[in-house]
């Protein structure tokens, strides 16, 4: 018996070792892709395999990054974009969830508004950009409005359908205790829709970035979107690519933050 | 007048295309502390009847009286147990069993202690901080029973509460529910399609026909079986005699259709 236990233990060790090896291998390939992409880019640019004026090079981008960091302009632009995105994300998600709740609460309202929601959802929201700028002025407010408008309708629709899909038997349990509509919402509808709400958060991270960057393209005053459009106009593609990389980094960080929140909330499901 | 009086109740479900009568002219009386079963094939409106008694739906015709009062006044006088436990997965067992008290606004130190004592009685001490996903199917259904009993309902409506469990757990739980209901002197109505379960647990059995649901026969379970717990009743010679006669009756219902 003791021998078999030892055997199982050694098999287990082998299993753990093989899993670790697998993980290291994956990490190695991920790193290899990263390193070879940037080195190939650098080499291709220096050897003029690609036009360095259009495609820049990692070293040129890095130099520009250090320079822009030193004169503080990068920090200002990044800060303003990040603020706009966070506000657009939060307002869009919260307002969407509230609208979803409102539709659940008043079924007749939901039925009435259904065709309008379909139209708004199908419409490319960025096309409203010029109208927003005219209405709210070319600045901070209309850019945030872009971030909000792009995510709010889809959030409303997804959250509302999650509320509707709650297992009717949970509501039955509550109703046998004589629960009011508000109690049903608080005890069953809202908590059971949390997974869906979290997954819309993840989608909204991406959407609010789209909204804000497009807004900055149109307003062209401040922010990373402005740096991209300015770089494009003066043919400084190092600036365009640098802004892109900063955006990629920040949106990844935001996405990861949402993932961490998700893990915390989903502990017991 | 009996504890529960169901007086000429009919119910029809309407859709835009159809009107389906689920129950037709149901009348019966249940005494306090009695255990009554509704037996019949699926689709005979048994669950509809329980929902009406639980005041979840209003019958198209007829009235239900609990202790002489119509249902509107005696709201939430019944505890309802479903086929599955439907414990809320995001709440701990303690939060789950206190849910009814919380909803009804009667959560006090006394009622809380009573609910926790009930959890202890039913053999689930020590799982208060667990989540439902950490419990087995039988334990979850027991916790659901505690949740139902915690509000001290006047009667218990059991809608096939054992049908989702494996046979052994089901037998054990039948025993436990039966004993609990006798100890706390609760009136109970059980919906089932299991003849054996109906005989083992109840004092009276109403046999339902389907489409529309009607009471076709009433079986009175003999005293010898009533006194025995469900498990012991299953071993008694009278059990198989009653089983046979109910079986024949059900069989006839099927062929006469």
Indicate whether B145 and B158 sit together in one domain.
no
Mutate to test the interface with B, among A169, A177, A178 (most CBs of B within 10 A): A177
pLDDT digits (tens, 9 = 90+) for A33-90: 999 999 999 999 999 888 888 888 899 999 999 999 898 888 999 999 999 999 999 9
- The Cα B204–Cα B207 span in angstroms is 10
- B242 falls within a domain: no
Does residue B69 sit in the same domain as residue B159?
Answer: yes
Cα separation, A183 vs A171, whole angstroms: 10
Give the domain-ending residue among B121, B152, B183: B152
Q: Residue B151 in 3-state DSSP?
A: coil
Q: Which residue of B has its CA nearest to A168?
A: B86
Residues B171 and B52 in one domain: yes
Amino acid A221: pLDDT: 83
Interface confidence, given as ipTM, is 0.83
Contacts of B104 in chain A (CB under 8 A): 177-178
Residue B168: CB atoms within 10 Å: 9
- Does B218 share its domain with B162? yes
- Cα–Cα distance between A142 and A259 in angstroms, integer? 29
Note whether B118 and B217 are same-domain residues.
Answer: no
What pLDDT was estimated at residue B194?
84
pLDDT > 90? residue A31: yes
Residue A259 is predicted with a pLDDT of 87
- Do B168 and B117 share a domain, yes or no? no
Residue A10 confidence (pLDDT) above 70: yes
Which residues are CB-contacts of B219 (< 8 A; sequence separation ≥ 6)?
Answer: B204, B205, B207, B242, B245, B246
- Distance between CA atoms of residues A6 and B210, nearest Å: 63
- Would you say residue B28 lies in a domain? no
Is the domain of B174 the same as that of B253? yes
Q: Does residue B16 lie in a domain region?
A: no
Q: How many domains is chain B built from?
A: 2
pLDDT of amino acid A96:
92
Q: Is the pLDDT of residue B74 over 80?
A: no
Within a 10 A sphere around the Cβ of A28, how many other Cβ atoms? Answer: 10
**Three-state SS annotation for chain A:** CHHHHHHHHHHHHHHHHHHHHHHHHHHHHHHHHHHHHHHHHHHHHHCCCCCHHHHCCHHHHHHHHHHHHHCCHHHHHHHHHHHHHHHHHHHHHHHHHHHHHHHHHCHHHHHHHHHHHHHHHHCCHHHHHHHHHHHHCCCHHHHHHHHHHHHHHHHHHHHHHHHHCCCHHHHHHHHHCCCCHHHHHHHHHHHHCHHHHHHHHHHHHHHHHHHHHHHHHHHCCCCHHHHHHHHHHCCCHHHHHHHHHHHHHHHHHHHHHHHHHHHHHCCCC
CB-nearest partner of A172 from B56, B133, B151: B56
> In this structure, are B232 and B159 located in the same domain?
yes
> Same domain, yes or no, for B146 and B159?
no
pLDDT, residue B50, reads 86
On average, the pLDDT of chain B sits at: 82
Number of A–B residue contacts, CB under 8 Å: 51
Provide the residue range defining the domain that includes B112.
Answer: 87-152
Q: Determine the Cα angle at B163 with ends B78 and B5, to 5°.
A: 30
Q: According to the per-residue pLDDT averaged within each range, which of A94-103, B39-48, B52-61, B82-91 is highest? A: A94-103
Q: For chain A, report the end-to-end CA distance as a whole number of angstroms.
A: 38
Q: Which of B117-121, B243-247, B252-256 has the lowest mean pLDDT?
A: B252-256
Q: Are residues B201 and B256 in the same domain?
A: yes
Question: Nearest by CB to A269, which of B54, B76, B90?
Answer: B90
Domain shared by B228 and B179, yes or no:
yes
In a domain, B215, yes or no: yes
CATH of the domain at B52: 3.40.50.300
pLDDT (mean) for A127-154: 89
Whether B69 and B97 map to the same domain: the answer is no
For residue B220, the tally of other CB atoms under 10 A from its CB is 11
Q: Does domain A68-265 have CATH number 3.20.20.70?
A: no
**Does residue B119 fall inside a structural domain?**
yes
Question: What's the rounded Cα separation, in Å, for the pair A104 and A83?
Answer: 31
What is the strand order of the sheet B204-209 is part of?
B78-81, B155-159, B187-192, B35-39, B204-209, B214-220
pLDDT, mean of residues B241-253:
81
Query: H or E stretch including B195?
Result: helix B195-201
pLDDT at A1 over 60: no
The reply to whether B89 touches chain A by the CB within 8 Å rule is: yes
Is B24 inside a domain boundary? no
Domain locations along chain A: 2-50, 68-265
Return the pLDDT at A82: 92
Question: What's the confidence (pLDDT) of residue B1?
Answer: 64
* Cβ–Cβ gap A269/B84 under 8 Å: no
* The domain boundary residue, chosen from B122, B152, B182: B152
Which letter does DSSP use for residue B174 in this model?
H
Q: Do A175 and B56 touch (CB under 8 A)?
A: yes
- Residue B200, helix vs strand vs coil: helix
Strand order in the sheet with B69-70: B19-30, B4-14, B61-66, B69-70
């Amino acid at each position: 018996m003791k021998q078999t236990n030892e055997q199982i233990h050694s098999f287990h060790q082998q299993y753990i070792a093989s899993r670790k090896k697998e993980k290291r291998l994956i990490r190695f390939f991920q790193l290899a892709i990263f390193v070879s992409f940037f080195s190939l880019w650098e080499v291709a640019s220096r050897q003029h395999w690609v036009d360095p004026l259009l495609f820049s090079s990692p070293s040129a981008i890095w130099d520009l990054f250090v320079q822009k960091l030193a004169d503080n302009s990068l920090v200002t632009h990044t800060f303003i974009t990040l603020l706009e995105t966070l506000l657009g994300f939060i307002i869009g998600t919260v307002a969407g969830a509230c609208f979803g709740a409102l539709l659940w609460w008043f079924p007749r309202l939901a039925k009435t508004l259904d065709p309008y929601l379909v139209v708004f959802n199908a419409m490319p929201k960025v096309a409203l950009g010029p109208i927003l700028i005219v209405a709210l002025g070319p600045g901070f407010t209309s850019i945030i409005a872009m971030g909000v408008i792009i995510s709010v309708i889809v959030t409303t629709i997804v959250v509302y359908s999650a509320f509707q899909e709650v297992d009717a038997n949970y509501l039955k349990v509550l109703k046998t205790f004589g629960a009011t509509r508000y109690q049903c919402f608080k005890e069953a509808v809202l908590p059971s829709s949390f997974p869906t709400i979290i997954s819309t958060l993840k989608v909204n991270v991406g959407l609010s970035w789209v909204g804000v960057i497009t807004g900055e393209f149109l307003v062209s005053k401040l922010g990373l979107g402005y740096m991209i459009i300015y770089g494009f106009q003066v043919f400084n593609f190092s600036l365009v690519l640098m802004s892109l990389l900063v955006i990629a980094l920040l949106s990844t960080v935001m996405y990861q933050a949402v993932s961490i929140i998700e893990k915390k909330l989903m502990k017991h499901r | 007048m009996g504890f529960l009086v169901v007086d000429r109740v009919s119910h029809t479900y309407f859709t835009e295309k159809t009107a389906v009568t689920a129950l037709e002219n149901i009348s019966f009386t249940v005494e306090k502390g009695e255990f009554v079963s509704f037996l019949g094939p699926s689709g005979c409106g048994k669950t509809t009847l329980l929902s009406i008694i639980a005041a979840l739906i209003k019958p198209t015709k007829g009235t239900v009286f609990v202790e002489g009062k119509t249902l509107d006044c005696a709201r939430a006088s019944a505890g309802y147990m479903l086929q599955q436990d439907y414990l809320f997965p995001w709440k701990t067992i303690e939060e789950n069993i206190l849910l009814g008290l919380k909803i009804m606004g009667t959560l006090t130190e006394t009622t809380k202690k009573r609910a926790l004592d009930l959890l202890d009685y039913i053999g689930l001490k020590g799982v208060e901080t667990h989540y439902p996903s950490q419990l087995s199917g039988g334990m979850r259904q027991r916790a659901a029973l505690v949740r139902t009993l915690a509000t001290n309902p006047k009667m218990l409506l059991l809608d096939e509460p054992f049908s989702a469990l494996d046979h052994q757990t089901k037998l054990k739980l039948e025993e436990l529910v039966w004993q609990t209901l006798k100890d706390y002197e609760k009136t109970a109505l059980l919906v089932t399609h299991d003849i054996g379960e109906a005989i083992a647990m109840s004092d009276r059995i109403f046999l339902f026909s389907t489409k529309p649901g009607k009471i076709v026969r009433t079986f009175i379970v003999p005293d010898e079986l009533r006194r025995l717990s469900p498990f012991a009743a299953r071993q008694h010679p009278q059990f198989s005699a009653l089983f046979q006669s109910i079986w024949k009756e059900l069989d006839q219902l099927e062929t006469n259709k």
